[in-house]
Amino acid sequence: MVNFGGWDMPLEYSGIISEHEAVRTRAGLFDVSHMGEIEIRGAGALELVQWVTCNDAAKLTIGQAQYSGLMTERGTFVDDLLVHKISEAHYLLCVNAGNQDYDFDHIVSHDRFGAKSENAGPRYSQLAIQGPRAKEILQRLTPVPLDPIRYYHFTFGKVDGVDCLIARTGYTGEDGFEIYFDPEFSEKLWDALMHAGQPAGMLPCGLGARNTLRLEAGMCLYGHEIDETTTPWEAGLGWICKLSKGAFLGSELLARQKQTGPERKLAGFEMLDRRIGRDGYPILIAGREAGRVTSGCPAPFLKKNIGMAYVPAATSSLGTEIEISIRSQLAPARIVALPFYKRPQ
């Protein structure tokens, strides 16, 4: 068990490689109850969400979710999050465990719209079932037809008799679902899903595989690729930064940075030998220190060693040869396209 944002969580069950492989080829079950939930209600709910986040929540239909960023006044990330539109005046935000209280205070402090915000983490448990066989496994336990739920959409219904919000979202690069429910039923639903998934070869998965899966899929992790010093443009998240929606926190600075272009950019790299460029290791370009690895690890499915790092925009083009300083030796690597892995459609 490791301590993660105040939660004791398993890093691995059967082993990171086997868990990772299970999610890519069959299915995996993650207890992600540590994730935080914040609910925004009332007539000003949409205005508040629009003001504090960078994606355009006005585009959401009821039953749709979007990936977004909670912004500082400087257009940097307080957190990244999923915004679910439950009704015209009700939004459910799913945020990172360690940031939940800070996010909540931040949102409330910027509420001049009269919305009602609730720090609702303790009212929810969350399980993520991910992988090509996730739908078939979850379907055994719910009368809700899962096929019609499109990617980044959700609905409400019973799973094994328990009321759930069932969202077709995830953090692995695979098809799958994240279900939110009353913590009272955590063990019951975990056991029911494990039982239903066993014949399909589903494995319980820990934080270790969650990290290798999201990195292979080129997804950012708060505190690594994004934080209060990075903007969506720098992080390659321009697609969630909608300046056209009107003013929001940090939008002026973000508009300016869009014009000038960011000075640094998040890049993916792969190692050219067997060494592993890990979090925090220095990156050298043309012999000069040019940044640090934000996340780096073996990619169990691709069978390469990969990572992400911020590099000067001028030297971020694909194919650029870089070096990573590993215990004072230089290991060759190359900038490659993100994501490293894309699931077959």
Partner 1 sequence: MYPREYRYTKEHEWIKAEGGTGTIGITDYAQQELGDVVFVELPKVGAQINAGQSFGTVESVKAVSEIFSPVTGEILETNSALVNAPEKINQDPHGSAWLVRMRLADSKELVGLMDAPAYEAYIAEKAKEHSA
Q: List residues near partner 1 by CB under 8 A.
A: 1, 11-12, 15-18, 208, 212, 274-276, 278, 297-298, 300, 327
Question: Residue 327 CB, nearest distance to partner 1 (Å)?
Answer: 7
- Cα gap 97→87, rounded to integer Å: 25
Give 295's strand partners.
308
Question: Residue 93 CB, nearest distance to partner 1 (Å)?
Answer: 30
User: Looking at beta carbons only, is 129 or 297 nearer to partner 1?
Assistant: 297
Count other C-beta atoms under 10 Å from residue 161's C-beta.
11
CA-based angle 78:213:173, to the nearest 5? 85
State the maximum Cα–Cα separation within the chain, in Å, rounded to a whole number. 60
Question: Residue 3 CB, nearest distance to partner 1 (Å)?
Answer: 12
- Cα gap 22→26, rounded to integer Å: 5
Question: Residue 300 CB, nearest distance to partner 1 (Å)?
Answer: 7
Question: Residue 169 CB, nearest distance to partner 1 (Å)?
Answer: 25
Question: Residue 208 CB, nearest distance to partner 1 (Å)?
Answer: 5
How far apart, in Å, are the Cα atoms of 339 and each of 92, 160, 262, 269, 335?
A: 27, 35, 20, 10, 12
How far apart, in Å, are the Cα atoms of 289 and each of 153, 273, 279, 327?
A: 43, 20, 15, 15
Residue 196: alpha-carbon gap to chain centroid: 26
- Cα gap 22→209, rounded to integer Å: 10
User: Looking at beta carbons only, is 212 or 257 nearer to partner 1?
Assistant: 212
- Cα gap 123→119, rounded to integer Å: 9
User: Looking at beta carbons only, is 170 or 206 nearer to partner 1?
Assistant: 206
User: Looking at beta carbons only, is 25 or 64 nearer to partner 1?
Assistant: 25
Question: Residue 235 CB, nearest distance to partner 1 (Å)?
Answer: 24
| R_g over Cα of the chain | 20
